Amino acid sequence: MTSNQTESRGRVLVIAGSDSGGGAGIQADIKAIMAMGGYAMTAITAITVQDTTGVHAVHAVPVETVIAQMRVCLRDIGADAVKTGMLGRADLVEEAAETLDALAPAVPRIIDPVMVASSGDRLIDRRAVESISSLLIPNAALVTPNAPEAEILTGKSVDGVNGQRRAAEALLERGAKGALVKGGHVPGSPITDVLQTEHGEWLFENRRIDTSSTHGTGCTLASAIAARIAQADAMQEAVEAGRDYLFRAIETAKGFGQGHGPVHHGWKLDMADER
């Protein structure tokens, strides 16, 4: 380990796809990480033609190009956390996992198993799901599935808090050190997210906001948590801070677009301007 990797300084390498609409993917990741005091690096896996109404096209970046991005960032700058988003292909998952094992074996990994966009568009194939389950979930510091993703990954029905608990337990049994099974897709209010780690279980609640501006919430939350973990927060503290940031970002969303609009990643800047 080089000298620039010996202390937590907020460096987060994000391996994910790009969203041309700016609400999700790499764009959301960078905004959230910066808002939480971290430093974002990127390995872009795909270029999407995307807006608030849906994903209109996906253009995959060659696997060797994704891996090259990872290698130069890890060898030169180093990382205090790695966050994965849309990977899409089994061969990319396999190569990315191998690269992380070789160059960043001790760096905490926050795995956001992006499978379906807010619009309902499928973003990943079945073989990639299997590769994520076998290669990325084991030893992940945190896995952050929503209810549909948790059902796909675990085979457990996730229709309430007890289902979220069962899914989290299954993810820990597969080797993850932490699992945050989110409740945003579970009907009703309040929304409950279930966090389980080897040290215990925590339930986080917040009221459901009546809004269509929910594009990129999963990317935003996982990256906000990753930024705090990269600054040496304990898992419970990082999740709480990330959730608080996301709730305010949804609450202050500006209503852009004709579909599922983006959250307001820059609400902290608004507060600074007011001061």
Buried b (16+ CB within 10 A) or exposed e, 142-154: bbbbbbebbbbbb
Mean pLDDT of the 229-256 span: 97
Lookup result for tokens 């994910």: 16
- The per-residue pLDDT for 4 is 47
Number of Cβ within a 10 Å radius of residue 100: 22
CA-CA distances (angstroms) from residue 39 to 30, 35, 79, 227?
8, 10, 9, 8
Looking at residue 39, which CATH number applies to its domain? Answer: 3.40.1190.20
3-state secondary structure of 17: strand
CA-CA distances (angstroms) from residue 146 to 74, 163, 203?
29, 12, 15
Interhelix angle 235-251/217-229, rounded to 10 degrees, is: 140
In a domain, 71, yes or no: yes
3-state secondary structure of 73: helix
- The per-residue pLDDT for 2 is 39
**pLDDT at residue 78 greater than cutoff 60:** yes
Backbone angles phi, psi at 92, to 5 degrees: -70, -45
In a domain, 157, yes or no: yes
- The per-residue pLDDT for 88 is 86
> 32 lies in which domain range?
9-274
- The per-residue pLDDT for 105 is 97
**pLDDT at residue 120 greater than cutoff 70:** no
**Residues annotated as part of the active site:** 182, 214, 216-219
**C-alpha radius of gyration, the chain, whole number:** 17
Torsion of CA 175, 120, 157, 213, to 10 degrees: 90
- The per-residue pLDDT for 113 is 93
In a domain, 2, yes or no: no
In a domain, 103, yes or no: yes
CA-CA distances (angstroms) from residue 15 to 167, 223, 227, 245?
24, 11, 14, 21
Mean pLDDT of the 30-49 span: 97
**pLDDT at residue 118 greater than cutoff 70:** no
- The per-residue pLDDT for 115 is 81
- In the chain, the number of structural domains is 1
- The per-residue pLDDT for 126 is 81
In a domain, 210, yes or no: yes
In a domain, 4, yes or no: no
In a domain, 1, yes or no: no
**pLDDT at residue 189 greater than cutoff 70:** yes
**pLDDT at residue 164 greater than cutoff 70:** yes
**Which pTM value belongs to this model?**
0.94
**pLDDT at residue 175 greater than cutoff 50:** yes
Buried b (16+ CB within 10 A) or exposed e, 23-34: bbbbbbbbbbbb
What secondary structure letter does DSSP report for 36? T
In a domain, 47, yes or no: yes
pLDDT in tens, 49-58: 999 998 899 9
pLDDT in tens, 1-28: 333 445 779 999 999 999 999 999 999 9
Helices (H), the chain: 25-35, 63-76, 90-103, 126-131, 147-154, 161-173, 217-229, 235-251, 267-274
Provide the percentage of residues in the chain whose pLDDT is more than 90: 85
pLDDT in tens, 197-223: 999 999 999 999 999 999 999 999 999
Distance CA 163, CA 157 (A): 6
pLDDT-derived band at 77, boundaries 50, 70, 90: very high
Mean pLDDT for all residues in the chain: 92
